[in-house]
Chains A and B, each alone.
Chain A
């Protein structure tokens, strides 16, 4: 086992060890926090090592259990996986510190400190797996962890949200398993690369198409695309905001990641009727999400609906399918994870200070805490795509790709949706930041200094994230270059297949 294999394994092992270690220190919240902080930072470090290795060598494959290529469970990391892993790791660090002061009940805190890492484990596993069934297992690890996180604390609306979330995810897993079964029946393998190769050789594409639709429905539910998104705005805003933001940032992106993987390696979209289906779905996802948001009056619910709308943009990249479009979608994922999480973090801070998330009861934040308002404005502008912020670059790449390939209709829809997004953000701005504080609502802290004293870590995390957004906005070249490289490999699937099967 060379150092390469050690790196790839350690990215998985660190969260696993962290979860087990924190289980041993059940009852010692302080110790768990310290251990956890060390582990999230170590994980970020090994992820960056992995990314560096991928940038130099492009590909890393680990045969778990020493089987021949293509037979046993395989973990494969290409640029796309490595990028997602580093993003997950980075966001985990921020969420971990952001949620530090969150849980008053002791037992809840103990559990959070364990389940946080099993969720991270499931996410990383899903990004690495090159095996369909193994992917299913990672999905379940991730899902059960998210079930627990959603219900932590056990307040009534949390439980209600969780029921819907559990039911739809059981459905999604069932469909996924049936799809895996069909692929195995058709090709005799559950290795993604091998299955992709064998499916090319099947002359009657009806059954593979059925399997493809199974996967589309299953991952569509996870990614919250139209018309399978209703669980998201019903559940994501219910848990404490530290948990919400973690789920928001990463869970739906796993859905998009697997969609991109599946519909490039196993079922290439080009020339099938699924391309049109994806195009229509992406347009509807954008439009319905953004109009859903326009009707809401809860800070977090508006943001939740916007996630749906933005998933549409990522799907649009996949539907157009040119390297530039996929690169745009990947850059959009980076943009969305940073910006959306920051908006959720800010909403959590405002919610804490004001004691409510209801737009009607909120107000006057600009007057009391101009710095928080400024940070929100940066993120909101970025979300709508005002140049030169991150949203602009990603939307520009997508729109350009759309015009180049002649899919102008979807570009028009996406630009229209951007304008409605601006409307939504203006609504939050007017209601939360601009208008005077309504009677009956009192800020618990009177000045920014008091907020800083009370929530130093939370403000620090928001600061780091805002700096990251500004950094990516003004120096996008490296990120775009990386996204284009990753997209190149994704579109040109032979590289992935050859590496995984060692052809």
Chain B
């Protein structure tokens, strides 16, 4: 399972970076999303995967006994998902505004700010 998830994470990073560098705006958004998934999965995996042992304290005991799934990375990933969602929403609105304003969805045309004279 670890190996499979690691490969998927790597692929998601690769896809994300490739699409982020793409000149099409829609692809950029998909790239941003893929990168978000990749980093969430990454945190999840590096914190070690445990299966079927939730970190619940059994009735009558005061601490968790034996091995259990680490809840912290899950909390971190949850937070990261929410933040990522916000960023993606903003990016989509921004790209829509850019498209409406400039009439192009091609990044290569958006170079006004890099010209020496403007």
* A contact residues vs B (CB 8 Å cutoff): 133, 136-137, 140, 143-144, 147-148, 151, 154, 156-157, 159-164, 166-167, 170-171, 173-174, 177-178, 180-182, 184-185, 190, 234-235, 237-238, 295-298, 358
Cβ–Cβ < 8 Å partners of B95 in chain A:
163
A163 nearest CB neighbor, chain B only = B98
Query: In the assembly, what is the distance between CA of A328 and CA of B73, in Å?
Result: 39
**In B31-80, which residues have CB < 8 Å from any A CB?**
32, 35-36, 38-40, 42-43, 46-48, 72-73, 76, 79-80
Cβ–Cβ < 8 Å partners of A156 in chain B:
101-102, 112
Cβ–Cβ < 8 Å partners of B111 in chain A:
160
**Sorted from nearest, which 6 A-B pairs have the closest CB atoms?**
A185-B46, A181-B43, A177-B39, A160-B110, A174-B35, A234-B113
Please indicate which of the listed interface residues A143, A161, A174, A296 has the most CB atoms of chain B within 10 Å of its own CB.
Answer: A174
A-B pairs with CB below 8 Å: how many?
Answer: 107
* B91 CB to nearest chain A CB (Å): 6
Given A171-B20, A181-B47, also A137-B83 (CB < 8 A): yes
Interface string of B76-102 (1 = CB under 8 A from A): 100110010011001100110110011
Cβ–Cβ < 8 Å partners of A296 in chain B:
116
Given contacts A151-B94, A234-B114, 9 further A-B contacts (CB under 8 A): A133-B76, A159-B98, A160-B112, A170-B32, A170-B87, A180-B43, A181-B42, A297-B117, A298-B118
Q: Are A166 and B91 in contact (CB under 8 A)?
A: yes
Given A137-B83, A156-B102, A160-B110, also A170-B94 (CB < 8 A): no
Query: In the assembly, what is the distance between CA of A171 and CA of B107, in Å?
Result: 17
Cβ–Cβ < 8 Å partners of B46 in chain A:
181-182, 184-185
Cβ–Cβ < 8 Å partners of A182 in chain B:
46
* B100 CB to nearest chain A CB (Å): 9
Contact of B91 among A170, A171, A174, A358 (CB under 8 A): A170
Query: In the assembly, what is the distance between CA of A39 and CA of B51, in Å?
Result: 50
Q: List 13 A-B contacts (CB under 8 A).
A: A133-B76, A144-B86, A144-B90, A156-B101, A160-B112, A163-B110, A166-B87, A167-B28, A170-B87, A170-B91, A173-B87, A235-B113, A295-B116
Cβ–Cβ < 8 Å partners of A144 in chain B:
86-87, 90
Query: In the assembly, what is the distance between CA of A222 and CA of B19, in Å?
Result: 22
Q: Are A178 and B112 in contact (CB under 8 A)?
A: no
* B contact residues vs A (CB 8 Å cutoff): 16-17, 20, 28, 32, 35-36, 38-40, 42-43, 46-48, 72-73, 76, 79-80, 83, 86-87, 90-91, 94-95, 97-98, 101-102, 107, 110-114, 116-118
Q: Are A154 and B72 in contact (CB under 8 A)?
A: no
* A121 CB to nearest chain B CB (Å): 15
Query: In the assembly, what is the distance between CA of A159 and CA of B110, in Å?
Result: 9
Cβ–Cβ < 8 Å partners of B101 in chain A:
154, 156, 159
Query: In the assembly, what is the distance between CA of A295 and CA of B117, in Å?
Result: 11
Cβ–Cβ < 8 Å partners of B83 in chain A:
137, 140
Q: Are A157 and B113 in contact (CB under 8 A)?
A: yes
Cβ–Cβ < 8 Å partners of A143 in chain B:
87
Query: In the assembly, what is the distance between CA of A170 and CA of B37, in Å?
Result: 12
Cβ–Cβ < 8 Å partners of B117 in chain A:
297-298, 358
* A446 CB to nearest chain B CB (Å): 28
Q: Are A151 and B97 in contact (CB under 8 A)?
A: yes
* A122 CB to nearest chain B CB (Å): 12
Cβ–Cβ < 8 Å partners of A358 in chain B:
117
Given A181-B47, A234-B113, A235-B113, also A163-B94 (CB < 8 A): yes
A296 nearest CB neighbor, chain B only = B116
Q: Are A177 and B90 in contact (CB under 8 A)?
A: no
Query: In the assembly, what is the distance between CA of A4 and CA of B59, in Å?
Result: 39
Cβ–Cβ < 8 Å partners of B28 in chain A:
167
Please indicate which of the listed interface residues A137, A147, A170, A180 has the most CB atoms of chain B within 10 Å of its own CB.
Answer: A170
* B36 CB to nearest chain A CB (Å): 7
Given A140-B87, A171-B35, also A154-B97 (CB < 8 A): yes
B98 nearest CB neighbor, chain A only = A159
Cβ–Cβ < 8 Å partners of B48 in chain A:
185
Cβ–Cβ < 8 Å partners of A234 in chain B:
113-114
Query: In the assembly, what is the distance between CA of A164 and CA of B108, in Å?
Result: 12
Query: In the assembly, what is the distance between CA of A173 and CA of B114, in Å?
Result: 24
* A357 CB to nearest chain B CB (Å): 9
* A135 CB to nearest chain B CB (Å): 12
Cβ–Cβ < 8 Å partners of A137 in chain B:
79, 83
Q: Are B35 and A159 in contact (CB under 8 A)?
A: no
Cβ–Cβ < 8 Å partners of A151 in chain B:
94, 97
Query: In the assembly, what is the distance between CA of A177 and CA of B46, in Å?
Result: 12
Please indicate which of the listed interface residues B40, B47, B110 has the most CB atoms of chain A within 10 Å of its own CB.
Answer: B110
Contact of B72 among A166, A171, A184, A298 (CB under 8 A): A184
Please indicate which of the listed interface residues A136, A167, A237 has the most CB atoms of chain B within 10 Å of its own CB.
Answer: A167
* B12 CB to nearest chain A CB (Å): 10
Please indicate which of the listed interface residues A184, A234, A358 has the most CB atoms of chain B within 10 Å of its own CB.
Answer: A184
Query: In the assembly, what is the distance between CA of A180 and CA of B17, in Å?
Result: 19
Query: In the assembly, what is the distance between CA of A237 and CA of B114, in Å?
Result: 11
Q: Are B76 and A184 in contact (CB under 8 A)?
A: yes
Q: Are A170 and B35 in contact (CB under 8 A)?
A: yes
